[in-house]
A and B are shown apart, each in its own frame.
Chain A
Amino acid sequence: MSDFTLAPSPLAPRSQPLFAPGDWPSAPSAPSAFGCATLREISAPPRLRVLIRPSFVSAPPGRRVLLALLLTLPALAQDARQIVEEAQRRGRANSQHYEGVLEVTGSNGKVTTKSWQSFRIGAYGDSKVVIRFTAPAEVKGVALLVVNHQDRSSDQWMWTPAIGRERRIALQDRSTRFFGTDFSFEDLEERDVNQFDYRLTGEEAIDGAACWRIEARPRQGKVSQYTLSRAWIRKDNYVPVQYENYVKDQAVRRLRQTDIRNVQGIWTPCVLDMTDLKRNSRTVLRTQKLEYNIPMKDDDFTVQALRREQ
């Protein structure tokens, strides 16, 4: 197995830190309305509330039970989607910067570490991200530009100073591992909520925090390496704390998001811990000096800028 190969993993929980917020509920990069949200808003997303109408309340008890049964299932499905959208909304920011330390532990225990700086501009789905590696020396100066699109896969370029040129990364196989980490390129994309079907499958506590457990399956026409993804989203702050990705009902990757901090009003997990369950390898990303909504220029997110700022 090559390091380049990307371990198969289904739908990806959008882990924000590497490039940008994930499509799934995203914690770090989304500007959160958490501070203003009421408990009711958190526990009953808007669309669900619309469903609970006076006519329903005034119906006879037997009929009420039937109506409740008929309405509950779609209501729960809608609920899951609303939760995801809300989580994304709360993670929104106009820009983001952090310093990341990536630690990859192979199945043999061998550990490699890399450091980078990440810059992100734009709203979720239309953002642009530049990552510049700062260590080790062999990769220092290597930079990545990712331009996300809502309706298609992102465009990506890489600048390698030792060769003195940029290259377009051909992401035809998005299951490819992201440069030897346990993330795949697909795991790093910002996803369109409309391309998945969501289902609230229960509630569960993760690290003592109550969470919704939501399943997402790609809709017909959506190409994904994963057949199913599960996310655990905290009820209190809408931060996803765990994802599991499946290929044909077999879990292949698990992402844990911990060390959740409120940064400028956005609840942000500062440690992302991805495990490749097939390879038994692990990648941990620790973010530091995280800042949101700092001034950035569009011009700094171009292929020319990759060269310029080496």
Chain B
Amino acid sequence: MILLRLISLPYVRKHLLRSVLTTAGIVLGVALLVSMHSANRSVLQGFNQTVDRIAGKAQLQVSAGDSGVAEEVLERVQAVPQVRVASPDIEASVDTNLRDQGKLLILAVDMTGDRSLRDYDLDNPDEDVIDDPLIFLAQPDSLIVTRDFADRNGLKSGNKIAFTTMEGPRQFTIRGVLKAGGMASAFGGNLAIMDIYAAQKVFGRGRHFDRIDIGLRDGVSLDQGVAALQKSLGAGFTIEPPSGRGRTFESLLAIYTTATGVSSFFAMFIGMFIIYNSFSIAVTQRRSEIGILRALGATRGQIRTLFLAESAIAGVIGSAVGAVVGLAFARTLTRLTGDLMDQMFGIPNRVQEVLIDPRFLLLAVAMGVAMSMIAAFVPARNAARVEPIQALQKGRYQVLGAGENRIRRIVAVAAAAAALVCLPLGANRVIFYVGCLLTLLAGLLFAPTLSLALARLLRRPLKWIRPIEGSLAADSLIQAPRRTSATAAALMLSLALVVAQGGVARGSIESLREWMTGTLNPDLIITESAGLSSHDFRFPPGVQEELQAVPGVEEVQPVRTARIQFRGKPIMIVAVDLLRIAARVHRHVIAGDLDGMNRLAAEEKGVIVAENLAELEKIHLGDRIEIPTPTGTLRLPVVGIIRDLSNQLGTIFLERKTYARSFQDDTIDLFRVYTKPGVPPEEVRRRINETLGGHRRMFIMLNRELKDYIMKVADAWLGMTYIQVVVAMVVALLGIVNTLTVSISDRRREFGVLRAVGGLRAQIRGTVWMEAVAIGIIGLALGVVVGMIFLYYELQAVAHDFSGMPLSYQFPTGIVAMLVPVILGAALVSAIWPAETAVRSSLVEALEYE
């Protein structure tokens, strides 16, 4: 403590800015980690809370994916002796069309039998808040809203609100108000209760429910209930507690969570380099102090502890501030993530509060402190090794020892060689990831050598541009390789992340474009919801004939996309008339014969699976797969594997009639419409709107609009990862500022001498600027090279472990081209303040420095 107070505190005071910059790396890293984690957990918690609150006392739920549960299943469930009460429900969200109110979650239930599962705490029981239960059931426009929603919108019993149903725009009458709290707080209070049979019409569910909620008899355990129901219903139904829905949501969120998690750790990792750099510099600058302390009897352990304690304190402060900043950003990120889940998977989210997980905050702080101490460990160890006599001698302490350099290079070469050996063995995922880490290690260990080499290479062009300033800047970098290389390594890592992410983004976009060009070629796409992924509304089969009858329409292809549980994961079933679709689209075949697979699947003799599902589930051509359906397990051979990007977790293509029979679901999500030659799609759209728009809910997109929409969603998905990339870059740029600040400080005497012998302020300023640009160039060069290698690993990870989609290796030329001016410009900007400090410092003080 005494050493901290007497030695460390004055140093921090003297180098306050540098201390702040050092801590800023931790702040940003922890902030990113906390904000991303909090946002993801908040979205998940918001979903789970909604599920819990609307599930009421239901102990189990019976579902059959998006296809729903046929009405007759309800009686089978009710007949199971272990079941005390079984009540169906339908859940869907609608746009309220009320200002700032967003979506309203409709929970449709059978009010005659539902009360034993859910508490409908109505606002004023004495006044019979449901004005008349019989009228509520008899009139399909009946709604019960929450007190919160009613108050926010100035609504009361008897008022009407409008939204678009499958039968076009309709007015709904509020016939009850739920008391605030409990179930009424689900979905942020934007909840409404509707009669389930009315909802079947409103949302186009036919004679299906979304789920059946179950209360078990006293003394029946969950396991017993599940076993009894599974025995009665068969394998085609999912029977699980309401929390199981959260797990499905979580698995959909998983890919995104993993991506954000990796980037967050990357940012913290980059932050480590800044700390390492700062402490390395601090050790060298404080050699005299260390020498004095050692001469006065301080042990090596005390010196090491002193620096580690400093790093721990910096870590605690930085992590604590980072946690606060992270929570402040979490709200915005939560909203963005919620919107993303809605766009990508059609799962609406309305998160009211950001989850503050004290345990995770403590963990984040601990991680920040640990990373800070790990980063400071080597400098602390070096400080402890300083011999008092050497320390008290002034010298060029920034020069790397030849031995140290040699060992580093040997280890780097060994790591690179081992990484190369891992490459052909990459089928084993452990070896693959070990190879990835070895590559990263090799890159980091090579960084000082390469930085030095690049600095030497840059000397000539810098000198050519500005003879004096260029030479001074290059020499500064060459003479202080430790300072330069750590900053360059931090920049290298962040830019490598940008390049790799950019490559994945470009690969994704290219693949998406290629897939859309081949597959999404109808002139019009007609959906029941504004977003393609929402399944809240569905078309009845009769709409196909209505569309076919519209003048100018050549062909209408119905498509049903339903998410089901397959091997415990939520994958997508696409049910279409395969031969008709095949005649119009171009598929990228991975395995099998295109004509043969379509014919066999159309004859119900097989299924076609998407490449990503085959990859993730290790499915091969000819394998017989089992698809659980409400009518029993569908066992069919895989007759073809094609490239398809409909769903990140995989897709199975079924002939429509196979699906309709097996899943007892003949509803439709979207229509692919081809217009007759010579008839403009815009004109056909107008005619469809005129003919059907008045009594059918439908959204009609031109082909171009559809593709734009998909690209927009893809951009939103990729955009979230860019946020972390930006933060990582900011961290790296902070490193440049830090390095330059130290550089200026170290060279105060040098600058003083220059000015004393007639050096102009502009020359000093130019020197600092050129040094900054040179660091930027070195970081850029290293970052692009390492990024290109990372891109390979990232594509492999995406293809084999995340989405199963093999993306082509696309060097992100555009992003790199953009990075060059951005990084060099940022480097210049970050040099302004240090340069001005160098220029404006007192000449006398500068000459007295050291």
The answer to whether A and B come from one shared complex is yes
Residues of A within 8 A of B (CB): 1-6, 106-108, 110, 112, 114, 133, 136, 138-139, 142, 158, 160-165, 167-173, 176-177, 179-180, 279
State which residues 94-142 of B face A: CB under 8 Å. 110-116, 120, 122, 125-130, 132-135, 137-140
User: B85 in the interface, Cβ–Cβ < 8 Å?
Assistant: yes
Closest B residue to A138 using CB positions: B135
Q: Is the CB of A160 within 8 A of B125?
A: no
User: B197 in the interface, Cβ–Cβ < 8 Å?
Assistant: yes
| Contacts between the two chains (Cβ within 8 Å), count | 109
Q: Is the CB of A110 within 8 A of B127?
A: yes
Q: Is the CB of B115 within 8 A of A2?
A: yes
Q: Is the CB of A4 within 8 A of B198?
A: no
- Interfacial chain A residues near B111, Cβ < 8 Å: 4
- Interfacial chain B residues near A179, Cβ < 8 Å: 133-134, 137
11 contacts between A and B (CB under 8 A): A3-B130, A5-B115, A108-B126, A136-B135, A160-B137, A162-B139, A163-B198, A169-B113, A179-B133, A180-B132, A279-B125
Q: Is the CB of A4 within 8 A of B130?
A: yes
Q: Is the CB of B115 within 8 A of A167?
A: no
Tell me the bound Cα distance from A106 to B111 in angstroms: 20
Min CB distance, B176 to chain A, in Å? 8
Q: Is the CB of A106 within 8 A of B128?
A: yes
User: Which of B74, B120, B201 sits near A2, CB closer than 8 Å?
Assistant: B120
- Interfacial chain B residues near A2, Cβ < 8 Å: 115, 120, 122, 125, 129-130, 133
Tell me the bound Cα distance from A163 to B197 in angstroms: 7
- Interfacial chain A residues near B195, Cβ < 8 Å: 163
Q: A107-B126, A167-B197, A176-B113 are in contact. Are A162 and B140 (CB under 8 A)?
A: yes
Q: Is the CB of A4 within 8 A of B140?
A: no
Q: Is the CB of B84 within 8 A of A172?
A: yes
State which residues 120-168 of B face A: CB under 8 Å. 120, 122, 125-130, 132-135, 137-140
Tell me the bound Cα distance from A160 to B136 in angstroms: 11
Please count how many residues in chain B sit with their CB below 8 Å of the partner chain's CB atoms.
34
User: B87 in the interface, Cβ–Cβ < 8 Å?
Assistant: yes
3 residue pairs, one from A and one from B, having the closest CB atoms: A170-B113, A1-B125, A180-B133
Q: Is the CB of B116 within 8 A of A142?
A: no
- Interfacial chain B residues near A133, Cβ < 8 Å: 134, 138
Q: Which among A3, A114, A161, A162 has the highest number of chain B CB atoms within 10 Å?
A: A3
9 more A-B residue pairs beyond the given contacts A171-B112, A176-B113, with a C-beta to C-beta distance below 8 A: A108-B127, A142-B137, A160-B137, A161-B138, A172-B85, A172-B116, A173-B113, A176-B112, A176-B115
- Interfacial chain B residues near A176, Cβ < 8 Å: 112-113, 115-116
Min CB distance, B140 to chain A, in Å? 5
Tell me the bound Cα distance from A41 to B435 in angstroms: 100
User: B86 in the interface, Cβ–Cβ < 8 Å?
Assistant: yes
Q: Is the CB of B78 within 8 A of A170?
A: yes
- Interfacial chain A residues near B74, Cβ < 8 Å: 168, 170
User: B75 in the interface, Cβ–Cβ < 8 Å?
Assistant: yes
- Interfacial chain A residues near B201, Cβ < 8 Å: 163-164
- Interfacial chain A residues near B116, Cβ < 8 Å: 172-173, 176
Q: Is the CB of B132 within 8 A of A1?
A: no
Closest A residue to B195 using CB positions: A163
Q: A4-B112, A160-B197 are in contact. Are A180 and B122 (CB under 8 A)?
A: no
Q: A106-B126, A172-B85 are in contact. Are A139 and B138 (CB under 8 A)?
A: yes
Closest B residue to A144 using CB positions: B134
Q: Is the CB of A180 within 8 A of B134?
A: yes
User: Which of A110, A161, A169, A171 sits near B128, CB closer than 8 Å?
Assistant: A110
Q: Is the CB of A168 within 8 A of B75?
A: yes
- Interfacial chain B residues near A170, Cβ < 8 Å: 74, 78, 85-87, 110, 112-113
Min CB distance, A33 to chain B, in Å? 37
Q: A3-B132, A160-B137, A180-B132 are in contact. Are A172 and B127 (CB under 8 A)?
A: no
Min CB distance, B208 to chain A, in Å? 13
- Interfacial chain B residues near A164, Cβ < 8 Å: 201
- Interfacial chain A residues near B126, Cβ < 8 Å: 106-108
Tell me the bound Cα distance from A3 to B127 in angstroms: 9
